[in-house]
Structure 1
C-alpha cells in the first residue's frame, strides 16, 4: 500500500474522531501484530508510535471503518521492517521472508475469525426466520430438484419460489450485515 498520497482525497474518508476511536479500539491488535515481527516488546512502542503518526497523516486514505485494521497492519508491518533493518546487527532478528510468513498466517487467522463471526451471524439470522421460510432458503443447497419438489408440494412454479428465495437471501444479507456492524462498534 502506498503510504504517500499524491492523488485527490477520497470522497468518504473517516472523520478525525472516528480515526481516534478506531485506533483506540484496534491498538491492542496492532501492538500484538507488531510483537509477532519484533524480537521483544522494547521496539513495539516505538514502532506503534511511528505507525500511528503515519496512519494519522494518511487517514484520508481510509474510506470506511471496516478497512481500518488491515490498513493499519500494513503500516505497522512496514514500520516493523524499518525497525528490523536497524537491528540487523543482532543475530536474533528473523529474516524478512519468515516475518512475511508470520504476518500472512496471522492475517489468515484473522480472516478465519471473521468467517466464524459471519457464520454465527448467519445462523442467528436463519434462526429468526419461520421454519417454512428457513427450509425454503436452504432448499437450493440440499440438492438438485429440491426447489422443484417444494414448488410441486406448494402448488407453485419453481420460478416463483426462486423469487421468494432471492428476497429471503437479501433479508438474510441485511440481517448479517447489521449484526456484523453492531459487533464492530
Structure 2
C-alpha cells in the first residue's frame, strides 16, 4: 500500500460568537478610531462613523472567517461609512475631494500595518528575553478564560503579589519594546 499524499485535515474553525465580536471590537477600537480620524475632519464625525460601522459589523459578523481577519474586515466597513459621512459633511462646508481622502486612507492603512508589524517583531524579540515561566505569565491574561486568581494560586503567590509580578514584567516588556522601536527608527 502506498503512502497517502492527501493534505492533512485541519480542525474546523470554531464559530465566532457575540462575545468574540465584543472582545475583538474593543481590542481594535483604538486602531479603528485612528483610521477613521485619518479620513474624517473631527472626532464627532469619527464617533458617528464608528457607531454606524459597529452596527454593520455586528450584522455581518457571521461572514467573518476568523479572528485574525477582524481588523482588515472592520476597516473596510468603516472606510465605507467614513466616505459616506464625508458626502454628508460636504453639504455643511468644504472638505477634501474623494480622491484625496481615498489616498489619505490608503496611506494611513499602509503606515498602520507597517507600524503593527514593527511592534509585533519587537514584542516577539523581547519575549525571548524572559524565562519560560515569565513568558507564560505574561501571556496568561490573553489566553481566553484564564482566571488570574487561579494562576496566582497555582504559582503559590497571593493575588496581590501575582499582580505586582505581572505588572513588573509588563513594565520590563514595554520598556524593551520601546527601546527596540527607537533603535529601528534611528
Q: TM-score w.r.t. structure 2 length?
A: 0.57
Q: Deviations over 1:10-63 (max 9, x none)?
A: 965421101101111111221221121111122222111110000000001211
Question: Do structure 1's residue 110 and structure 2's residue 109 form an aligned pair?
Answer: no
Q: Deviations over 1:43-96 (max 9, x none)?
A: 222111110000000001211112111111111110011111122224431211
Q: Secondary structure at the match of 2:91?
A: coil
1:20-169 to structure 2, matched below 5 A, reads 20-120=22-122, 123=125
Alignment partners' CA distance in 1, 2:109 and 2:96: 18
Alignment partners' CA distance in 1, 2:59 and 2:127: 40
- Aligned residue-pair number: 128
Alignment partners' CA distance in 2, 1:56 and 1:32: 20
Structure 1 unaligned runs (5+)? Answer: 1-9, 129-177
Structure 2 unaligned runs (5+)? Answer: 1-11, 143-186
Q: TM-score w.r.t. structure 1 length?
A: 0.57
8 Å contact from structure 1 (residues 12, 63) kept in 2: no
Structure with the greater alpha carbon radius of gyration: 1
